[in-house]
Amino acid sequence: MSNLTPKASSMWFVQSLRLLHHELRRGELTIIFLAIVLAVATVFSLTGFSGQIKHAIVANSTNTIGADRVLRMSSEVDPSIIEKSQSLALKSAKKIETESMAFAGDNMLLSELDAVSDSYPLRGELRVKTSSTQAESVIASAPQVGTVWVEPSVLSRLDVKIGDSIEIGLAPLTIAGIVTDIPDRSYRAFIAGPTVILNIADMPKTELIQPGSRITYKYLFAGENQAIETFEAWIKPQINESQRWYDAKAAQNRLSRILDTAEKFLSLASMLGIVLAAVAVAVASRRYGQRHQSTVSIFKALGASISHVRKLYCLHWTLLSCLSIATGLLVGYGLLLLGVNAIASYLSLADAPLTFVPFLTAIFTGLLCAIAFAIHPIMSLVQSSPLNVIRGFSQNKVARFGWHQLPPLLALFLLLYIFSQDLVMSAALLLGGVVVSFILLMFGRGLMSAGRSVGTKAGKSWHLALANLKRRASENSVQLVSFTIAIKLLLLITVMKSSILSEWEQQFPEGTPNHYLINISEAQIDPLKQFVAEHDIANQGFYHVYRGRLSAINGIKTVDEDKPDEQAANDATPADKEKQAAKKTEQQKSRQGMGRELGLTWRTELPEENEIIAGQWWQVGDDKPQVSIESNIAERLEIKLGDNLTFTLGSDEFTVPVTSIREVNWQSRQLNFIMVFNQSVLDKFPTTSISAWSISAQDRDMVYRFMADFPTITLMDFAAIMAQLNNIIEQVSVAIQLILILVVLAGSLVLIAQVQASMEERERELAILRTLGASGKLLRNSVLYEFVALGAIAGLMASVGMEIAVYILQSQVFNMPGSFHFQYWLVGIGAGAFFVGSIGMLSCWRLLNLSSVTLIRRTM
């Protein structure tokens, strides 16, 4: 090289640029470009979006609990605790959370009720708009006595406006503003309804709080660090089983764990699309390598060194990768903005900064796709022998298995690991993916072979189409697997949305409860009983409900499963770690508990839909304290007949023996209880009752009018619960749809790449057929039917897969008999045939439009 002029030594650079320019203009690199853009854009938008959401919810909002520490319990706090906090100069606030009906005229709405003291919130911002025309919300604290802040949907659903009065329980309250930000908003999946915030001083007027009501008390504390820590050290030993003490970090950890899980699920699911995009790169680059063989051989024959060729193609490929990755980032950014815009009404991400993580992850993904999946064809291209010029160019088939398949597999594993952060899971997914693909492949090959024999009798076009399909079976397999998965997702969403839930609802016999009544006081029971008897409303009677915890089994204390996390987040100092270790040993000595409060009840007679499988139900008049336990829980907690169970109800504790084990039909929508006692155990505690009614459509208005006289009773429509379930399914299916779109796009790229790779072969076949006198219609149909058959086979396999998945859902999740959904098989097969047929025809369009003279001249 030393004797070359500087200009000649950089000739490869100029040639490389010229090559890129040419190839891009001729559209030869389009598939590779699009595949990398797709992978990069997907990863960037997904990682960026979830990162921003996490930042906005968790990190950026100064507080997610409205305080420095929160004490949560199901009863009022001991005054000594508040006194202690005051002595340490801590600020405190109180919040009561419950669910209740809100009434306005004839309208009623189940809502989340937050009753807060004047000092609320201690940290973070509560923001409200006091008129509907106001653009910016202002920082506020508790509403004034006699007024409420409400979430926007309360206005539309109760048909009221700011200044109107609504009734909460027995208290009429005026809407003073619309709340836009709640510092300690709950992110649970099931929330009764929109939030109504009232002043805690109004709570007694509502008469919602009665013994046994389902109410959460939160005591919020904030102040100097030192004081908070002193207070924490003092209060922690006093926290009992039914109370929780937590800081913002613990709450944030909980939240970010949920977000992490969602993100992990989405990114692993989108891996499917990314893998397909990478396969498209692999197919297209193989064809690229073969097409460029002659160029490289001629270059070499004319005296170009290996290093010249290597540099030329390395730069060419690098430029292509950079261009694709940059475009991918731009497209990804666009998608990210769309996403941010779409959820703007729920969550403002305007202030959440973009970190480097999405950039790095996306660029890395792009590089992996561009390098790992293309390295083998490009390497062998550079190695092309100049002798080829004389010997001719071989369309050498790549060996099926060999070292060259290692880089793509390693790259896949690396990508899985980046998204899952879990070695075992990555390995399992890779292996699982290979196994599932293999099964689909074998199944698909079988169908293609079967189609081949059927096709022989099905007319000329079909015959040729299916013969081609079978011959290209191994190339077709990738598309087959990807379209099968895409169509299966599509079918599953459709069936879930339109069938499973309604089938589940329909299987309940007439008279199955469709309304639940909660928070019924002792005095209200008689008028209600009279009402249902008068109007012949099917009901299950009234159950007294007590909230209590299972605190010990045979004298051994139970521990909650979810407590350790929270503790870990709180305990940071070495001393705390020691405490944690001590707690661990303590856990080993203790028994597994329920980890939550239970609804307890007493009965004299065995409830309907319950069956005793061990022991005996008590005789009427048997006053000896005892309990009957549900069989699944008994099994899980290893509780046997005769075991002594200790329960905590508020500050009371009692121990009773297990005298029977019951099997309960949870699917019946009846009121069911895990622990049922005899009357003498619970009778002495004050409480409220619940009931379940079956209200027919024509009785509905009448019942609702009657219930308006009992505003402290919460009336829950089962349809509303179903609506919430539907809403969750809707949200899940949005996520699945995103994956679906990605898989369809990537699968189409693979299909187009595959068609391009087979273009010379197809051209030759069409020329032969044309020469032998085949009509244009026959040629078009044979190409069309080939793709239609491929799509239909994918649709058929997807339908079988969907049916299996639905059966598992029905039998395992919904406990209902399985059913077939043949109408969706047609949808699956039809959609597959139509989509793959269209994409295939489009990619062969140029070929089919060539005049036969051109076609024949090219081949002969």
> Which residues in this chain contact another protein in the complex, by CB under 8 A?
456, 460, 463-464, 467-468, 470-472, 761, 764-765, 767-776, 778, 851-853, 856-857, 859-860
Cβ(835)–Cβ(791) below 8 Å: yes
- Cβ of residue 301: shortest distance to another protein, in angstroms? 23
CB within 8 Å of 257: residues ≥ 6 apart:
none
- The sign of the CA dihedral 81, 87, 88, 89 is positive
User: With respect to another protein, which residue has the nearer C-beta, 351 or 761?
Assistant: 761
The tally of CA atoms less than 13 A away on the side-chain side of residue 241 is 26
Q: Which of 255, 114, 247, 127 is nearest to 182 (CA)?
A: 127
Residue 480 or 645: the one with the smaller Cβ distance to another protein is 480
For residue 665, the minimal CB distance to another protein (Å) is 58
Task: Name the strand (E) or helix (H) holding 559.
Answer: strand 556-559
3-state secondary structure of 649: strand
Q: Where are the beta strands (DSSP E) in 637-700?
A: 644-649, 652-664, 675-677, 688-694
Shorter beta-carbon distance to another protein: residue 111 or 461: 461
Tokens for 769, please give them.
């057929």
Q: Tell me if 601 sits within 8 A of 628, measured CB to CB.
A: no
Contact 755, 787 (CB under 8 A): no
CA distance 549 to 241: 8
Tell me the closest approach of the beta carbon of residue 848 to another protein, in angstroms.
13
Instruction: Give the nearest distance from C-beta 787 to another protein in angstroms.
Output: 15
Residue among 421 and 474 whose Cβ is closer to another protein: 474
Contact call for residues 495 and 803 (beta carbons, < 8 A): no
CA angle 382, 386, 389 (to 5 degrees): 120
Q: Which is nearer to another protein, 207 or 765 (CB)?
A: 765
CB 479 within 8 A of CB 448: no
Query: Smallest distance, Å, CB 4 to another protein?
Result: 36
Of 291 and 471, which CB lies nearer to another protein in the complex structure? 471
Residue 469 CB, nearest approach to another protein (Å): 8
Minimum CB separation from another protein for residue 769, in Å?
7
262/774 with CB nearer another protein: 774
Q: Which is nearer to another protein, 632 or 771 (CB)?
A: 771
- For residue 398, give the DSSP letter: P
H, E, C per residue of 333-386: HHHHHHHHHHCCCCCCCCCCCCCHHHHHHHHHHHHHHHHHCCHHHHHHHHCCCC
DSSP notation for 782-837:
HHHHHHHHHHHHHHHHHHHHHHHHHHHIIIIIS-------HHHHHHHHHHHHHHHH
Q: CB of residue 442 vs another protein: minimum separation in angstroms? A: 21
For the bound state, the minimum distance from the C-beta of residue 457 to another protein, rounded and expressed in Å, comes to: 11
Q: What is the DSSP letter of 402?
A: S
Residue 72 token pair: 């949560």
CA Rg value for the chain: 34
Residue with tokens 């509905």: 700
Of 308 and 460, the one with the shorter C-beta distance to another protein is: 460
Q: Which is nearer to another protein, 468 or 694 (CB)?
A: 468
H-helix or E-strand spanning residue 221: strand 216-222
- The least distance separating another protein from the CB of residue 750, rounded to whole angstroms, comes to 21
Beta carbon of residue 45, minimum distance to another protein (angstroms, whole number): 41
Nearer Cβ to another protein (470/821): 470
Smaller CB distance to another protein: residue 237 or 773? Answer: 773
466 and 453 Cβ atoms separated by less than 8 Å: no
Residue 833, amino acid = A
**Min. distance of Cβ 345 from another protein in angstroms?**
56
Measured between alpha carbons, how far is 430 from 780 in angstroms, rounded to an integer? 39
Nearer to another protein, 453 or 604 (CB): 453
Rounded to whole angstroms, how far apart are CA atoms 688 and 75?
Answer: 15
Please choose, from the candidates 647, 650, 683, the residue with its C-alpha nearest in 3D space to the C-alpha of residue 549. 647
Closest CA to 671 of 558, 552, 520, 504: 520
CA-based nearest residue to 110, from 170, 172, 214, 193: 193
Pick the closer one to another protein by CB: 1 or 772. 772
Calpha distance 34→843 (Å, rounded): 15
Nearest C-alpha neighbor of 696 from the set 539, 542, 543, 540: 539
**With respect to another protein, which residue has the nearer C-beta, 602 or 787?**
787
Shortest CB 472 distance to another protein, Å: 8
Q: End-to-end distance of the chain based on CA atoms, in angstroms?
A: 44
**Nearest-approach distance from CB 771 to another protein, in angstroms:** 6
How many residues are listed for the chain in this entry? 860
Q: Measured from the CB atom, is 373 or 787 closer to another protein?
A: 787
Nearest to 174 by CA among 163, 161, 183, 184: 163
- State the minimum distance, in angstroms, from the CB of residue 853 to another protein: 6
Q: Which two tokens stand for residue 557?
A: 């204390």
Which CA distances in Å does 846 have to 191, 762, 850? 56, 12, 6
- The tokens for 366 are 């792009």
Query: Which neighbouring-strand residues pair with 715?
Result: 517
Q: Shortest approach of another protein to residue 437 CB, angstroms?
A: 24
Question: Between residues 487 and 766, which has the closer beta carbon with respect to another protein?
Answer: 766
At closest approach, how far in Å is the CB of 337 from another protein? 48
Of the pair 717, 765, the CB lying nearest another protein is at: 765
Q: How far is the CB of 277 from another protein (least distance, A)?
A: 29
Buried b (16+ CB within 10 A) or exposed e, 484-500: bbbbbbbbbbbbbeebb
- For residue 211, is the peptide bond before it cis, meaning its omega torsion is within 30 degrees of 0? no
DSSP string for 104-123 = ETTEEEEEEEEEE-TT--SS
